[in-house]
Amino acid sequence: MPQMSRQDPLIEHHTVDYVPLAERHGKARDLFTLWFSTNIAPLPIVTGAMVAQVFHLNLAWGLLAIALGHLLGGIVIALASAQGPRMGIPQMVQSRGQFGRYGALLIVFFAALIYIGFFISNIVLAGKSIVGIVPSVPVPASILIGALSATAIGVIGYRFIHTLNRIGTWVMGSALLAGFIYIFAHDLPADFLTRGGFNAAGWLATVSLGVIWQISFSPYTSDYSRYLPADIGITRPFIATYLGATLGTILSFAFGLVAALATPEGTEAMVAVKQATGWLGPILMVLFLLNIISHNALNLYGAVLSIITSVQTFASQWTPSIKVRVLLSGVVLAGCCVVALGASADFISQFIGLILALLLVLVPWASINLIDFYVIKRGVYDIASIFRADGGVYGRFNLHAIVAYFIGIIVQLPFANTSLYVGPWANLVEGADLSWLVGLVVTCPLYYCLATRQHTRKVRAARLGYTD
């Protein structure tokens, strides 16, 4: 109908502004397909292979650690996603309601950096995948093809991203299931069930990896739920996101683990997938390539929204148009391609190491975000204040949130175990980065105490007729 066409255009016309109730659409199940399909990709499969190759766990202990880590971490991403329908704005814009209008800029900067880092890494990975499938295509051309394809999806935006992942859920889910069937239908190595064993360090490292994996998605989950009807509630988006994110990643990690154990010890992860799946291997490689491109559109989309949020912070009367989003997407694309084309052979591992190190800044943010939304304000925010030049009721800076945030980062440092920095207590459990746990345990109660104290003071002042 003409009205539907007008309200629901193919190319998304909103950027970081509030999505009016009349323009809300979609079902909670869209969140399941988005996060399930997104996580059936080479990177989680390669990471799952590490469970056997690096952490030396056997199949049973490896599967248990994988499941537990993602089931725990999935709570964070699901709680963040469920905020979208209530708020109707991107996740990073919402941070103004916790950190203040200008106080949120630091968080937005880190989020943009993470998105761009993953976008560059994935276009390099997509380029290498294209060369692996069609060796006659030069590497630079392959990188450009992967980058342009992801950018086209990101420019079209929200609706197209969801549509692709609805299709991808059936295609990728079926392909992965076929891969499992193929592996178990053929002869397995004699040590398939016994290779590796249990060791506390490897098991905890695997659990931590699962938790961190899920938390890394939390800064942009509500970007993909903000168009859902506001009356959809909290429970349905939470369940859909939780099941999609956890099942997709658990299956991918498990597939990587099974493929590694089904091939000779020391076989590189994606080579193991090809060898273990026989004639199905080349088909899986093509599907994985398509999934890399589709998933990378989320990174570009998030990076562009974060950059627009940063600029709009200093121009409160400006409502960015679709032209701005398209233009900025082109600028980000060009810059990322320049970096990717000049990347070294080990660029991906180096950049992933940097990005994982930056996760130190996400744990305190996620803690503050969830405590503020679910415990302090209970989902009630003044949207108009979030877009006001002075921050409205949230002010320009919320020192309580900023203090809790930096303390949350500082307390993690002694336990950090990253490629950039290793803390003095990083090896309390060898190979396991437990800094995220310290960040959560400290930041959540600290922010709650500071925020409730501030809230109580404001209520008392209001009753007495005073304002800040």
pLDDT in tens, 367-410: 999 999 999 999 899 999 999 989 899 999 999 999 999 999 99
**Band of residue 417 on the pLDDT scale cut at 50, 70, 90:** confident
pLDDT of residue 181: 95
- Average pLDDT score over the chain: 85
**Band of residue 468 on the pLDDT scale cut at 50, 70, 90:** very low
pLDDT of residue 1: 32
Average pLDDT over residues 172-188: 93
d(CA 259, CA 254): 8
pLDDT of residue 461 exceeding 60:
no
Angle ∠(15,147,299) on CA atoms, nearest 5? 45
Average pLDDT over residues 97-121: 87
pLDDT in tens, 325-348: 778 888 888 888 888 887 656 665
pLDDT of residue 164 exceeding 50:
yes
pLDDT in tens, 432-454: 778 888 999 999 999 999 998 76
Average pLDDT over residues 174-190: 93
Average pLDDT over residues 51-66: 94
Least confident of 39-43, 175-179, 233-237, 439-443: 39-43
Domains of the chain: 24-348 (1.10.4160.10)
pLDDT of residue 467: 47
d(CA 114, CA 118): 6
% of the chain exceeding 90 in pLDDT: 38
Average pLDDT over residues 295-313: 85
pLDDT of residue 203: 92
pLDDT of residue 4 exceeding 50:
no
Selected residue with higher pLDDT from 294 and 320? 294
pLDDT of residue 465 exceeding 60:
no
Using H for helix, E for strand and C for coil, what is the string for the chain?
CHHHHHHCCCCCCCCCCCCCHHHCCCCCHHHHHHHHHHCCCHHHHHHHHHHHHCCCECHHHHHHHHHHHHHHHHHHHHHHHCHHHHHCCCHHHHCHHHHCCCCCHHHHHHHHHHHHHHHHHHHHHHHHHHHHHCCCCCHHHHHHHHHHHHHHHHHHCHHHHHHHHHHHHHHHHHHHHHHHHHHHHCCCCCCCCCCCECCHHHHHHHHHHHHHHHHCCHHHCHHHCCCCCHHHCCHHHHHHHHHHHHHHHHHHHHHHHHHHHCCCCCCCHHHHHHHHHCCHHHHHHHHHHHHHHHHHHHHHHHHHHHHHHHHHHCCCCCCCCHHHHHHHHHHHHHHHHHHHHCCCCCHHHHHHHHHHHHHHHHHHHHHHHHHHHHHHCCCCCCHHHHCCCCCHHHCCCCHHHHHHHHHHHHCCHHHCECCCCECCCCCCCCCCCCHHHHHHHHHHHHHHHHHHHHHHHHHHHHHCCCCC
Selected residue with higher pLDDT from 73 and 305? 73
pLDDT in tens, 199-219: 988 898 899 889 988 988 888
Query: 380 in the Ramachandran plot: left (φ > 0), alpha (ψ -120 to 50) or beta?
Result: beta
